[in-house]
Amino acid sequence: MPIATVIIIVIAVAAVALALLWYLQKRRSERLHAQFGPEYGRALEEYGDRRKAESELERRQERLEKFEIRVLSRDERDRFSEAWRADQARFVDEPKGAVIRAYELVNEVMKARGYPISGEFDQTAEDLSVEHPAVVEHYRMACDIVKRQESGQANTEDLRNAMVNYRKLFEELLGASVSQSQEVRR
């Protein structure tokens, strides 16, 4: 076989391999972007490099696969919904206590669903981001308000926003709305 033919074959094989690698990387990026939504952009911003960000998102996914995440039963959803409504009503008289209880309820629902509850806020947020990327930012915002409240830098409107943000995550984890039933509203 002439050397020119060998060179052409090697170049063709290399071109096909590069095209395949590019295609697989593009598919990986599309899959992660579709799964993580806004969290994908946040990871890109945090890591400044697409490969590092995508590796981090895949690490989160692999970590969460080790746990048995489950859907709550109807009784559990009803019990948690009732606890939320009671806490929400408490907000009028005791906003700080209600926000703290909202945080506790979010953690109780996470634990009941099988999510690992970490003492580290960032780890918990990362775990939530795998299956709840659209609402994990609400968790971050609410927890940030609670931190500010602890140092006296959050007012009642801030605490109301924390409740709203916790409720969005709570409802997502619960798989149901926690608005009052028709009987209660009358």
Ordered mean pLDDT values, 10 residues apiece, the chain (186 residues) = 90 94 92 92 93 95 93 95 96 94 94 87 89 91 90 92 95 84 34
pLDDT for res 184: 32
pLDDT at residue 74, rounded to an integer = 94
The string of pLDDT tens digits covering residues 88-140 is 999 999 999 999 999 999 999 999 999 988 777 888 899 999 999 989 999 99
> What CA–CA distance (Å, rounded) separates 86 from 84?
5
User: How many whole angstroms from its chain centre is CA 39?
Assistant: 8
Burial of 138 (0-12, 13-18, 19+ CB in 10 A): buried
For residue 70, the Cα-to-chain-centroid distance in whole angstroms is 16
How far apart (Å, rounded) are the C-alpha atoms in residues 95 and 102? 10
Q: How high is the mean pLDDT of the chain?
A: 90
pLDDT at 180: 52
* CA dist., res. 17 & res. 20, Å (int): 5
Angle between helices 136-150 and 156-174 (to 10 degrees): 150
User: What does the DSSP assignment read for the chain?
Assistant: --HHHHHHHHHHHHHHHHHHHHHHHHHHHHHHHHHHTHHHHHHHHHHSSHHHHHHHHHHHHHHHTTS---PPPHHHHHHHHHHHHHHHHHTTT-HHHHHHHHHHHHHHHHHHHT----SSHHHHHHHHHHH-TTTHHHHHHHHHHHHHHHTT---HHHHHHHHHHHHHHHHHHHTS--SPPHHHH-
